[in-house]
Amino acid sequence: MSEKVLMKGNEVLAESAMRAGCKYFFGYPITPQTELSAYMSKHMPKIGGTFLQAESEVAAINMVYGAAAAGARVMTSSSSPGISLKSEGVSYIAGADLPAVIINVMRGGPGLGSIQPSQSDYWQATKALGHGDFQMVVYAPSTVQEMADYVAKAFDVADEYRTPVMILLDGLLGQMMEPVELPEPKADIPDKPWACTGTKGERAHNVVNSLYLDADLLDQTNRERYERYDKIKAAEQISEEYLCDDADIVVVAFGAAARIARNAVNAAREQGIKAGLFRPITLWPFPVDALEQTVAHAKGYLTVEMNMGQMVDDVRLVVAGRAPVEFYGRTGGVIPTPAEVLDAIVAFDQKVGE
């Protein structure tokens, strides 16, 4: 066990990636994730790795595609507008079944939006980061420790299922300093016999490709990929339940919003409201199985998000009309206070109780 150190979230993402065997990082400057790139540029050369500042986010994600095709553990990071530019490459990565890790330190949108924290890319990350039928595993850490842990896990999951994996957080978490126990450096990275490293005259050529001119073959390939998604849905859902066992009001929140919601849940309990917090850690696959467990006793669900109400859709899909599901949120970089979330819980509790 290594000792705890005090580190900034963005830097922990970088350090944890390198410890997970990521020796290649391709990025482009954007606020609020620049410390991650700066950390990589400083430390990658020391481990014989590559930090490359690309000419654009588009180029960076395609360098990731190339490095992943060559069998490496590789990562890129950006923030909302930059992630939009990476969406082309992410679709190709998914279509070519390549493992890669993408960090999105979200800021307010749409357009140039703001540089303050936001969760407004939930839909983009979980529903449609790029064209075509594909999904991507999305982790939403809410502590610096979880950032360290889930970056490490992201590389393993990416390799196991040959899929892009996203770490979705916001500028609040990226800038946060907390004590963290960094993961042990990973020595063994899985073999990738499909990688394009040269045939060495010993095998038929490998091809990394997402083009299928034969419609039946593409249909079959997509179906096989979705069978893999079913395995991910069955094995990889992660959530944290806090005071949910007897909760009347289940507050659902992820990432930074969950930290605030937790305080508000405690305050609600002090007022005699049986509130609990359900915190999805995987946003895709959404932790539907664990949330389903709460439906038997919950009288209502309130999602707290730093957006105009996006995850609330996924909660409604699980609850399926069996209880009211409402949303409270702020946007534009406004971080909701525990007091205003408490007010929202109290108001929702009264409405549900009527």
Partner 1 sequence: MEQKEEKVVFERPDALLPVVTNFCPGCTHGIVHRLVAETIDELGIEGKTVGVTPVGCSVMGYNFFGCDMVEAAHGRAPAVATGIKRVNPDNVVFAYQGDGDLASIGTAETVHAATRGENITVIFINNAIYGMTGGQMAPTSLPHQVTQTSPYGRDTASAGYPVRICEMLSTLDGPAYLERVTVDTPANVRKAKKAIKKAFQNQVDGVGYSLIEVVSTCPTNWGMTPQESFTWMRENMLPYYPLGVYRDVLAEGHESVAAAAAERAKDSKIVAEGGAA
Residues that bind partner 1 (CB under 8 A): 24, 26, 50, 52, 54-56, 58-60, 62-72, 74, 88-89, 92, 96, 196-202, 205-211
Q: Which residues contact 159 (CB under 8 A, 6 or more apart)?
A: 73, 99, 189, 190, 192
Q: Name which of 78 and 237 has its Cβ closer to partner 1.
A: 78
Of residues 224, 274, 215, the one with CA closest to residue 244: 274
Q: Name which of 72 and 151 has its Cβ closer to partner 1.
A: 72
Least distance to partner 1 from the beta carbon of 163, Å?
18
Q: Which residues of 33-52 are buried (b: 16+ CB within 10 A; e: fewer)?
A: bbbbbebbeebbeeeebebb
Least distance to partner 1 from the beta carbon of 328, Å?
40
Per DSSP, 46 falls in state G
Least distance to partner 1 from the beta carbon of 289, Å?
36
3-state SS, residue 226:
helix
Q: Name which of 65 and 328 has its Cβ closer to partner 1.
A: 65
Bridge partners, residue 181, by sequence:
4
CA–CA gap between residue 139 and residue 126 (Å, rounded)? 10
Q: Name which of 62 and 118 has its Cβ closer to partner 1.
A: 62
Least distance to partner 1 from the beta carbon of 217, Å?
13
Q: Name which of 60 and 106 has its Cβ closer to partner 1.
A: 60
Task: Give, to the nearest 10 degrees, the angle between helix 9-19 and helix 144-161.
Answer: 40
Least distance to partner 1 from the beta carbon of 308, Å?
31
Q: Name which of 98 and 342 has its Cβ closer to partner 1.
A: 98
Sign of CA dihedral 202, 207, 212, 213: negative
CA–CA gap between residue 216 and residue 10 (Å, rounded)? 44
Q: Name which of 85 and 334 has its Cβ closer to partner 1.
A: 85
- Please classify residue 313 by burial: count the beta carbons closer than 10 Å to its beta carbon, then call 0-12 exposed, 13-18 middle and 19+ buried: middle
| Paired sense of beta strands 50-53 and 137-139, if any | unpaired
For the chain, the C-alpha Rg in angstroms (whole number) is 21
Least distance to partner 1 from the beta carbon of 65, Å?
6
Least distance to partner 1 from the beta carbon of 36, Å?
19
Tokens 């105009």: give the residue: 308
